[in-house]
Chains A and B, each alone.
Chain A
Amino acid sequence: MNCQEIRSSLSRYLEDDLDPDMKNLIEQHLGSCSNCARELDVLRKMVSSLGKLEKVEPPFDFLESIHERLERPSKVKLILRRMFYPPHIKLPIEAVVVAATVLLVVRIVSFISPGKVMVTMKPAPEEERKRLKVATREEGVPVIKYEAGKEVVALKTPSISKDEVEVEPEVGAVSLAVPREELRKAEAMFEARPRLPTITEEVAVQLANQFVVEQGYTDLKASLPVDSLYFDEFEQGRQHMGVSIERILKARYNSIKRVPVITYEDEMSWNVVYIINRMPDFGQVVNVDKNTARVRMIPKKVSLEYLMEK
């Protein structure tokens, strides 16, 4: 056996993980080859210094920080809150449709009365825990309640009479007799909500070039296929916060203020604004339209690095 072969087995020799013949061979070789013997010595020392590496103490508030994280409301809950609060939604059917596409499974079952469609809603699988709780009726108006964590969110449906609601608590489903007209209207509204064009390559390059000018970057690649920007895990003190920006509607350059401006749509815009404004390196929110959930923001240097990497 040559030195090369011997050396490749030294790690296993250290572990005493070789058959006796091989072990003998190696020991014989080590007795006659000082280079390999030194090699074994170095390897042994290295492995032993790994084992002796100083243990590092976790921060003193480690447990406390875990408690804090556990108490933070989940994203889903925030979506729910956004959708169902305040409880007296003006366009309940629209809310139903919107909710249906995001959170709930909708099944059109049957026609129960002329002009009405039976719509069954059921929590989507990952939301099984947050079960539908109960449907109560107040003055002929059914109120559907969902148990979401500790809170109960209610959805009022004034255009549906109390006889037109069926609840199956055991499967967590509720069926509503929705006026067909209204359902169609709601679907149309949902369909017609601001569409989400993707940012073109051309715009992205243009945008990035403007960044380059502004920030003094020089090594921009020629083409940047970008249709979304992800900003994830920005450090803010100890906390990691994530923002993901998708569905960019518009990217332009404000030549008066000399800043790039991105307009995008975000269902959780209120939350995103909160996060972005706590991340000065990330950018600055200019404007939020709560009706269309559109956010306009000025991204900063960090964003550029992301854009350029894409």
Chain B
Amino acid sequence: MDNSLSHTSVDSDEALVAKCQKGERSAFDELVLRYQKKVFNITYRMVGNYTEASDLAQEAFVRAYKSIKKFRGQSSFYTWLYTIASNICRNRLRYLSRHRRSVVSLDNPIQTEEGVVLREIADKSLSPMAILERKMKGEFIQKAINSLDARHRIVVILRDIELLPYDEICRILKVNIGTIKSRLHRARSILRERLKDVI
């Protein structure tokens, strides 16, 4: 085997997981860096709040780390990770709905020492007008997503936002494909109804 290659080539998820299971923290860090954005975007779309999303995404990684030894590779690592993340989000939403506290919406102003500022979502290129338009549209869409219940929310996020294939979503949510399709259909009709003036 060519050893020089292994220095330059990137470790696969499986290799990193194996290293993790042997207690190599740096391998876990590598996995975090690899998936933080994806996991974060799922939690972000689930709760619609930056701080909360960051907290939940971190929690997902912490739980994954703590139970990495139990991970036997029946599915790919990221499927497993997404399952953990979506469960955490659903529990959190259930908790919030029980306690009737809503999470801060995207357009909710933040109080800072310099006064009130509006929440910013990262955006690139485009003209200021286009940015504004897109941002507003994004906020409307997030608001509409927030109006869905957790079960429908996660399906529309995984399918229409993260663009994952159906079989992957089935494995993540551990629900059969028929159920996923009907939830997606339902979620889309609700969103369509709420967004008819924006789209």
Chain A residues proximal to chain B, CB less than 8 Å: 8, 11-12, 15, 17, 42-43, 45-47, 49-51, 53-59, 62-63, 65-66, 69-70, 232-233, 235, 238, 240, 306, 309
Contacts and interface: CB of A to CB of B under 8 A. Distances in A.
Contacts of A53: 45, 138, 141, 161
Given A46-B191, A49-B137, A238-B51, A12 B62 contact: no
Interface string B10-37: 0000000000000000000100110011
Given A42-B199, A53-B141, A12 B61 contact: no
Interface stretch (B70-78, B107-115, B167-175, B180-188): B180-188
Given A43-B188, A47-B188, A70 B181 contact: no
A56 B161 contact: no
Interface of A is mostly: helix
B176 interface: no
Given A49-B141, A69-B58, A235-B51, A54 B188 contact: no
B84 interface: no
Nearest to A61: B54
B32 A63 contact: yes
Residue from the set A62, A232, A233 with the largest chain B CB neighbour count within 10 Å:
A62
A306 B54 CA distance: 25
B137 A66 contact: no
B44 to A, nearest CB: 5
A42 B194 CA distance: 12
A47 to B, nearest CB: 5
A309 B57 contact: no
**A-B interface, 5 closest residue pairs, ranked by CB to CB distance from nearest:** A58-B40, A50-B160, A11-B185, A45-B199, A69-B62
Contact of A58 (B37, B45, B185): B37
Contacts of A66: 32, 58, 61-62, 65
Contacts of A56: 40-41, 44, 50, 53, 121-122
Interface of B: 29, 32-33, 36-37, 40-41, 44-45, 50-51, 53-55, 57-59, 61-62, 65, 95, 99-100, 121-123, 134, 137-138, 141, 156, 160-161, 163, 181, 184-185, 188-189, 191-192, 195-196, 199
Given A49-B141, A50-B161, A55 B37 contact: yes
Nearest to A42: B199
A55 B65 contact: no
Contact of B196 (A42, A50, A58, A306): A42
Nearest to B59: A69
Contacts of A233: 95
Nearest to A57: B122
B36 A17 contact: no
B62 A70 contact: yes
Contacts of B40: 56-58, 62
Contacts of B53: 56
A233 to B, nearest CB: 8
Given A11-B188, A56-B122, A65 B58 contact: yes
Contacts of B121: 54, 56
Contact of B141 (A15, A50, A232): A50
B57 A58 contact: yes
A17 B141 contact: no
Contacts of A59: 50, 54
Contacts of B50: 56, 59
A149 to B, nearest CB: 13
